[in-house]
Amino acid sequence: MTTNTATPIIAYQGHQGAYSHLSCQQMFPNFEAHACMTFSAAMAMVECGDAQIAMIPVENSTAGRVEEIYRQLPHTSLYVIGEHYEPVNHCLLGTHGSSLEQINTVGSHPQALAQCDKHLNSLNIRPLATLDTAGAALEVSQKGDPSHGAIASSLAAKLYDLRILQENFQDVQGNTTRFLILSREHQIPAPVAEQKYITSFLFTVRNIPSALYKAMGGFATNNVNLIKLESYTPDGRMVATQFHIDVEAHPDDANMILAMDELAYFAKDIRMLGTYAASDYRYAEV
């Protein structure tokens, strides 16, 4: 059922206060952010028209790719219309009556706990795994135990009325998550001078010798920058390998047209996932 609300909706996975929720607010402050229990539920909201777009994480600079998303993309009818990079600032949260010295246990998602492992050990705090960071913050709020804390975002602290005992609690600074913005509409932006674009698509190689090498050759000879190549077996079958590829090019670029023509000789089931402006974060000086 399509919504008729005046305020557009953006769907994300996790509790309110999750990093996905924070990314929604950063990128689309005028949208109503809607929490979903699973990634597939967030995408389904867009597919059926109950949300205009979805904010979905695909990789993290510390934890690597979100493998589940790459498995789900071939089965969705959605298109990629943008990307967003969100720096992760883990905060150690507690009740208003607690202090850093009082915290004995802390809950969070296993990845967040791993990213704060050295810091936790130095403070002799015992980690407890939860389904997500914001859910751990909600638990602290509900329990009201000054000896139990959570590792979550500053947004979670605000939403659940918790005290930030320490910011930047992660062991390594610069931890960043890349999100894709998904829509039902295939919105290919008109090329703008000096703007760099990312084009994402799927394909399966033909059953011929050196098919992948030959398929990729067209991008090399036509000077198209390949920036991501993911492989997996669709539907768990071992008879074919499907690839997800990101290139730094717009479909209207002459060299991209030549590269795609050459790809068609050695690949099948080519499906365009979307073309979108490359985030400035990609080119920021480290």
More confident residue, 237 or 256: 256
Residue 235 pLDDT grade (very low, low, confident, very high; cuts 50, 70, 90): low
The average confidence (pLDDT) of the chain is 91
pLDDT digits (tens, 9 = 90+) for 30-69: 999 999 999 999 999 999 999 999 999 998 887 778 888 8
pLDDT band at 284 (very low <50, low <70, confident <90, very high): confident
Which residue among 177, 199, 204, 275 is the active-site one? 177
Dist CA 219 CA 224 (whole Å): 5
User: Which parts of 4-132 fold into alpha helices (H)?
Assistant: 19-27, 39-47, 67-72, 110-115, 117-122
Take residue 58 and report the two structure tokens written for it.
């695909």
Give the residue-averaged pLDDT of 170-195: 92
At residue 3, the pLDDT reads 47
Does residue 105 have an active-site annotation? no
pLDDT mean over 11-40:
95
**Is 179 an active-site residue?**
yes
pLDDT at 249 > cutoff 70: yes
* Tens-place pLDDT, residues 191-228: 998 999 999 999 988 777 888 888 899 999 999 999 99
pLDDT at position 172, please? 85
Look at strands 225-232 and 242-248 and give their pairing: antiparallel
| Token couple for 35 | 């929490």
**Is the predicted pLDDT of residue 240 greater than 70, yes or no?**
no
Task: Name beta bridge partners: 268.
Answer: 204
Per-residue pLDDT, averaged over 60-87, amounts to 88
Same fold: 9-87+176-183 with 197-283: no
Burial of 104 (0-12, 13-18, 19+ CB in 10 A): middle
CB 165 within 8 A of CB 149: yes
Q: What percent of the chain has pLDDT over 90?
A: 73
DSSP bridge pairs for 10: 33, 53
Q: Of 179, 201, 203, 219, which residue is the catalytic one?
A: 179
Pinpoint the alpha helices (H) of the chain: 19-27, 39-47, 67-72, 110-115, 117-122, 133-143, 154-159, 211-221, 254-266
Q: Which two tokens stand for residue 127?
A: 């980690």
Neighbour tally for 278: CB within 10 Å:
16
- Sketch the domain layout of the chain as residue ranges: 9-87+176-183, 91-166, 197-283
pLDDT band of 2, cuts 50, 70, 90: very low
Mean pLDDT of the region 262-286: 88
How far, in Å, CA of 249 to CA of 253, rounded? 7
- Report the CATH number of the 91-166 domain: 3.40.190.10
| Tokens at 234, concatenated | 């669709």
CA nearest neighbour of 276 among 53, 35, 121, 20: 53
pTM above 0.85, yes or no: yes
CATH of 9-87+176-183, one of 3.40.1280.10, 3.40.190.10, 3.40.50.280, 3.40.50.1580: 3.40.190.10
Whether residue 16 has pLDDT greater than 50: yes
Give CATH for domain 197-283. Answer: 3.30.70.260
Q: For residue 282, give the DSSP letter.
A: G
pLDDT tens, residue by residue, 118-139: 999 999 999 999 988 999 999 9
DSSP conformational letter for 102: G
